[in-house]
Amino acid sequence: MENVVTRFSPSPTGTLHIGGARTALFNWLFARHNNGKFILRIEDTDVVRSAEEYTQVIIESLQWLGMDWDEGPYFQSKRLDIYRKYISILLEKGRAYYCDCSPEEVERKRKEAMAAGKKPKYDGRCRTRNLGPGQGRVVRFRAPDFGTTLVQDVIKGSISFDNSELDDLVIQRSDGMPTYNFAVVVDDLTMGITHVIRGDDHVNNTPRQILIYEALGATPPVFAHVPMILGQDRTRLSKRHGATSVLAYRDAGYLPEAMVNYLVRLGWSYGDQEIFSKEELIEKFTLENIGKSASIFDPEKLLWLNSYYIKESDPDKLADLLLPFLERKKYPISDRNYLERAIITLQPRAKTLTEMADMMDFYLLENIEYDSKAARKFLKPTMIPVFEDLIEKLRALDEFTEEKLEKVFRNTSAELNVKLGKIAQPVRVALTGRTASPGLFEIIDILGKDKTIRRLERALEFMRNRKEKQAP
Ligand code: GLU
């Protein structure tokens, strides 16, 4: 497709959540797939609810997910002159008018209409009054009284709206600010947006926007309204279903690749393929493959994708991502190479970076803490001779390769007539503090001779103390 221009136009009234991030992703992918342009526009005309810090959070979230924009961020609050110009055009054409009905009056009439079983819409009192600008006056769009407006949606097909159902919408508030439906049209028009891809909660706004395009003598863009995201209980996704803000997932140790891969499958599919690299998504993304039904947010699947991307990631890159998590735990890190080797052993086990940081403790802390149940069960006085023998043999070992380590353990097992399986778990507890960890020889190889022997000696002391206490 030629000259595609899409946009993501969040209102900075909250953090970027799962739904918004998916909208951004679809727009970004569609632009990239078509070698087009992706614009970021901040819709901040609601001065009361908009906050600068939310704009920052939205930008940080997009950057974290790796979505870059070619233009913007534009701010609607800085484009007021442009909206005013288009208001004058509509006023001149007779397609808009000033209205001085007070909000209370409008509300009263709405209620009356409803009570009479009629559609609660503005009664058009000021349509023919030819009012000019003035204190407390809004500008309304003059909607047609008859006919229908057809929304031809790429995803939903054609939807027809009766014009008589549509209100004479306020397009400029009494404080001079444009309203959403008007500003969005002026922006999409002046920014040359060719495709509007957004959540289907906006579908009822679309006929109103199409009428404004028509009144301005402009052709509307292509619309694609994406079905909602629901929680597992099939109600609209909200905080009740867990974290919904994108940065909360970053802070919980999710990788951006996992998040992007997860988000795209909320509504878009390519056969039954689940794993997509970003390059592959750019190559394959089309609007035709967006489904018609709502998608269900599944945290388990996101976790599965995250563990997949942790396994597949380059340890060097993971080390960079893991560092802030380790710093938060105040774990000392002096040797980058040591860290990366440790990471490799945890990649198959950790589902998030938070989990990985938790599992890192025995690699990074000098004095590990024993899990009390594990210590009670495995660091028993009967193991004292085994540990003594292991320490002696390991001291004499010049090279700590897996092969040589295995030989040491086998020899101790044979000489003291204790099964290898009975030795492994106590040693694991001595080295890591717990009963589950990466392979024993892998760990010993990474910890190295000094640390390994120090920890075995410490466990030995623990067992000797225990023996003394047991003695009658
Ligand atoms: N600011 C609107 C929102 O956040 C954008 C709607 C649109 O894409 O037109 O919902």
User: Atom 10 in ligand 1: which residue has the minimum CA distance?
Assistant: 10
pLDDT at 189 over 70: yes
Is residue 284 among the annotated active site residues? no
Answer for the pair 317, 257: CB distance below 8 angstroms, yes or no: no
pLDDT at 334 over 90: no
* CB 34 less than 6 A from any atom of ligand 1: no
The CA-CA-CA angle for residues 216, 184, 231, to 5°, reads: 140
First CA to last CA across the chain, in angstroms?
87
The CA-CA-CA angle for residues 239, 241, 243, to 5°, reads: 55
Q: Show Cβ contacts of residue 104 under 8 Å, excluding neighbours closer than 6 positions.
A: none
210-255 tens-digit pLDDT: 999 999 999 999 999 999 999 999 988 887 887 789 999 999 999 9
* CB 198 less than 6 A from any atom of ligand 1: yes
Mean pLDDT computed over 186-201: 98
The CA-CA-CA angle for residues 459, 465, 466, to 5°, reads: 90
Strand partners, 223: 153, 196
* CB 43 less than 6 A from any atom of ligand 1: yes
472 confidence band (pLDDT: 50, 70, 90):
low
* Structure tokens belonging to residue 47: 């001065």
Answer for the pair 61, 15: CB distance below 8 angstroms, yes or no: yes
Pocket test for ligand 1, best of 77, 184, 193 (most atoms within 8 A of CB): 184
Mean pLDDT computed over 275-303: 97
* pLDDT recorded at residue 183: 98
pTM comes to 0.93
* pLDDT recorded at residue 65: 98
Answer for the pair 443, 451: CB distance below 8 angstroms, yes or no: no
User: What atom of ligand 1 comes closest to residue 20's alpha carbon?
Assistant: 4
Domains of the chain: 5-77+229-302 (3.40.50.620), 79-226 (3.40.50.620), 313-361 (1.10.8.70), 366-472 (1.10.10.350)
Answer for the pair 408, 397: CB distance below 8 angstroms, yes or no: yes
Using alpha carbons, select from 467, 430, 243, 253 the residue that is nearest to residue 352.
253
User: Atom 9 in ligand 1: which residue has the minimum CA distance?
Assistant: 184
Pocket test for ligand 1, best of 38, 43, 179 (most atoms within 8 A of CB): 43
Rg (CA), the chain: 32
DSSP code per residue over 231-280: -TTSSBP-GGGS--BHHHHHHTT--HHHHHHHHHTTTB-STT-----HHH
User: Would you call the peptide bond into 73 cis, given omega within 30 degrees of 0 as the criterion?
Assistant: yes
